[in-house]
Amino acid sequence: MLTADNVLDALLVNVDGRVLDRSSMGEDVFWAIRRGGGASWGVVYAWKGRLVQVPDTYVGPALPDEVYLSVFLTIGGGSSPKDGNVTVSFTGLVLGPKKLAMSVPSERFPELGLVQPELSEMSWVQSAARFAGLSSLEELTSRGSKTKHYATSKSDYVQSPNPRDALAAIVRYLADGPAGYMILDPYGGAMARAGSADTPFPHRAGNLYSIQYGVTWEAGDGDGEAQMRWLQALSAYMAPHVSKNPRAAYVNYIDLDLGSNALTGNAPSSSSSPVSQARSTWGSAYFSAANFDRLSGPRHSSTVPMSSAIRRAFHR
């Protein structure tokens, strides 16, 4: 999200093989490719970004901008992933030395008992590999998946603190369910300083954190129906505790329960009904209604024509 806020230009190859920069693609398309699904308008193969000066201290709504701290809740704290134990893990990333990394959690979250040997200093690209669960930088170039299981997920945005009874219920859902998990990612700070219409990504000021709900299963666990029902039940329980009107979602955690495009042949239906339906469901949830309206314009622009192959690949 923050990267998109600082993109100055891009090179886009459209379906006709034309190379377009910001000037030739037009401002609407340039706006759309920054968090609106860049591949829907062609292939972006180069970005020009603004370098941002990082001051010594910036204070966000809860933590300094330099500190990222997410919470991972999952079933399996013992010898078996289905032993009924719920594990809560804190994963952090700090832009700065170990001294800063120690000072913030020690002051704000002394209960974690963080000690310096648990910290590792590394480059940004090394941290990207670490966060992805990879053991080396070389694995970043591998296009294959190392995992062989099935998975599905949902997402939400939280705009006010959840009560203790809701947190207790979440733990019970995880303990009683299949191999499920929740990831709580913090918002605010620099992300909140951009407007909701500056890029297609609208989830800015007013959001405390996002939630990714997920569940995995192996081929021998059946067709996944039980896992998906559990995930839907947890999502339904969370409805009173998350954003409303619309209930927002994160586009990179595609959720087919929110709806999908109605296709006619190899292309989306030309009638206005499917567009209106998309706007009122996943369009508003992922992008906001206003941003979805703007995103739906460049798809039919003569500047960046789309073939039926691209439509089939990227229209959901």
Residues annotated as part of the active site: 253
Task: Quote the DSSP letter at residue 63.
Answer: S
CA distance 28 to 270: 21
One DSSP character per residue, 263-315 reads: EETTEE--SHHHHHHHIIIIIHHHH-HHHHHHHTTGGG-SSS---HHHHHHH-
| φ, ψ (nearest 5 deg) of residue 189 | 60, -135
Helices 225-238 and 164-176, axial angle in degrees (round to 10): 180
Q: 200, 36 in Cβ contact below 8 A?
A: yes
CA distance 109 to 124: 24
Task: Quote the DSSP letter at residue 296.
Answer: T
* 3-class DSSP state of 278: helix
| φ, ψ (nearest 5 deg) of residue 52 | -110, 130
* 3-class DSSP state of 139: helix
Strands, DSSP E only, in 145-246?
150-158, 180-186, 209-217
Q: Which residue has the tokens 């073939």?
A: 307
The pair of structure tokens assigned to 110 is 């002394």
Of the CA atoms within 13 Å of residue 234, those in its CB half-sphere come to 30
Residues 6+ apart with CB under 8 A from 221: 178, 227
Residues in the chain: 316
Q: 279, 297 in Cβ contact below 8 A?
A: no
